[in-house]
A and B are shown apart, each in its own frame.
Chain A
């Protein structure tokens, strides 16, 4: 718009202007729009807000029939303290297992699972896109996402017991890597599809091997896509509950599973659970914001782009 070109006689400009005009709207329709948006935001924030404030509420504010308060009256970090150190003021029962182990387990297994999925997915989608090897792989991989995990978990549990993978970091990482492989595969496939083959051919003509072209040319080009893929798959792994529930027992229990075991003789530990939910919810929300513009692509297996 700002670039003012001098007249260039005779040249035929074959461009499509993208017209981004701001349609004048009446004040009323704009007000309705904002009212609806604020309503949507309120609905979105309502549960989140309750959980987050709950995380900072002391024991006696968790549930009270009378005088329910939205904001903690005596805000405290006690719930977090209890999670991390196993005890806090006013609670007799101590926690034998603090958050450290599950936090570590979630981090390790999500990370390793992500590495497995992204490495396998990247290499195989590249082979499918460029060398046209096993084109049917794309659909077979997709089928992995179709079935409820519980419908196919019996043999997996038997196998994991057989190979000694139950309640180990590598056992859980392995299954994570497998179930998120379809996402990694399809996401990377869409990024590779966008790399013009001419660039690779130019490098090939210059004498580079296929491996070198992949490693030195293509991979750097899709680097932003690769980063997106890593974050996306990490979020998926981090969000898992079921697989950890089935394949871990004690040592490598992850955060969500650990959260649901926070019950003591005193009953439901609302505040601690909320504090834990808060901790578990932060990384995916934050990472999700980072890759916002590729979310559609990832979630629809590349069927849609934004």
Chain B
């Protein structure tokens, strides 16, 4: 097929004349044109993946920091046989940050899931005002995450409206109390990302054929029975997509926390990203950050590879 089309395009080109240059020949050859089409993306990927990964691997085996005044390519002078990884294994700050990240993921994502599911169920049929409510409910997800951080920073001030609405004194602090700071962050993240869950789950729910729902109703199933036995089982893959997507994004969480608490008070809201940020800019410990980053990367890749193989198996 490809051979045939390249033959005909070659003969066409020769018919028209020799004047055509390289580009007009590319335009008539699908595979060549395709190669040019992927070229920018491939170049960008190599530029941002292959080269930096090698550099990160290289730096992570040294004591290099930008303070030394030694250019990065001479970092081998302080080669340390992987001690950074050993430090990492016993770094309580790292494990604590990982644990806090996991906590946020384990509380925020389920909360977003159930709220989103309930909200989606309200939108499953038509009712007056549906479009308006839909748009309003989606709004939080469009707000710049840094601005969401600011909004909740303002809300949770001691003299802010949350304390005022709940009748709490100004001395009741949210962002400066270790436990409540974590709760505040989780609330803010849930506020922003429940709409995403809602959006995805609603798409899944609407994908359930309406005739089947009607049939279930006519057979006598109550709303709850039909939801549990007809709608939910059909949404399995959509639910998986939504949860995985949110878990990944939640693991990366930075902007919101950085602006609300900067990881504080102390390290009470220091997640992996904030931990890395602090190491990068406060301690300027770049080689160590490189090592932590690589470790995280490898673990995440393994999880992703495992997840993808599961998905592939399910489809097969």
Contacts and interface: CB of A to CB of B under 8 A. Distances in A.
Nearest to A134: B38
Interface in A32-89: 33, 36-37, 40-41, 43-48, 50-51, 54, 63-65, 68, 70
Contacts, number: 289
Given A48-B143, A300-B241, A147 B151 contact: no
Contacts of B129: 37
A109 to B, nearest CB: 14
Which label, helix, strand, loop or mixed, suits the secondary structure of the A interface?
helix
B255 A242 contact: yes
A156 B52 contact: yes
Interface string B44-62: 1101110111011001000
A92 interface: no
Given A155-B55, A210-B28, A306-B203, A127 B144 contact: no
A41 B251 CA distance: 27
Interface stretch (A4-12, A96-104, A270-278): A270-278
A144 B53 CA distance: 12
Which label, helix, strand, loop or mixed, suits the secondary structure of the B interface?
helix
A41 B136 contact: yes
Interface string B9-39: 1001000000000001011111101111110
Contacts of B196: 299
B34 A155 contact: no
B41 interface: yes
Given A155-B52, A260-B259, A141 B154 contact: no
B135 interface: yes
B16 to A, nearest CB: 10
A304 B241 contact: yes
A21 interface: yes
A154 B293 contact: yes
Given A18-B210, A295-B138, A300-B200, A65 B42 contact: no
A37 B133 contact: yes
Interface string B128-139: 010001111111
B304 A211 contact: no
Contacts of A139: 308
A107 interface: no
Given A274-B154, A304-B200, A64 B159 contact: yes
Given A47-B152, A303-B241, A40 B44 contact: no
Interface in B105-148: 118-119, 122, 125-127, 129, 133-148
Given A131-B34, A147-B296, A306-B206, A289 B137 contact: no
A30 B127 CA distance: 9
Contact of B44 (A33, A134, A181, A280): A181
Contacts of A162: 72
B308 to A, nearest CB: 8
Contacts of A152: 52-53, 56, 293, 297
B161 A50 contact: yes
Nearest to A278: B147
Interface in A162-184: 162, 177-178, 181
Contact of A296 (B119, B125, B199): B199
A178 B276 CA distance: 21
Contact of A210 (B27, B272, B300): B27
Given A19-B214, A124-B37, A305-B203, A146 B304 contact: yes
A159 B55 contact: yes
Given A45-B136, A68-B164, A281-B143, A51 B150 contact: yes
Interface in B182-236: 191, 196, 199-200, 203-204, 206, 210-211, 214, 217
B31 A131 contact: yes
Instruction: Tell me which of B136, B147, B196, B301 has the highest count of chain A C-beta atoms within 10 A of its own C-beta.
Output: B147
8 contacts: A40-B137, A124-B41, A134-B38, A148-B251, A239-B145, A242-B255, A273-B150, A284-B144
Given A50-B154, A124-B37, 4 more contacts: A19-B210, A65-B159, A68-B164, A306-B206
The 5 closest A-B pairs by CB, nearest first: A131-B34, A211-B27, A151-B293, A256-B146, A155-B52
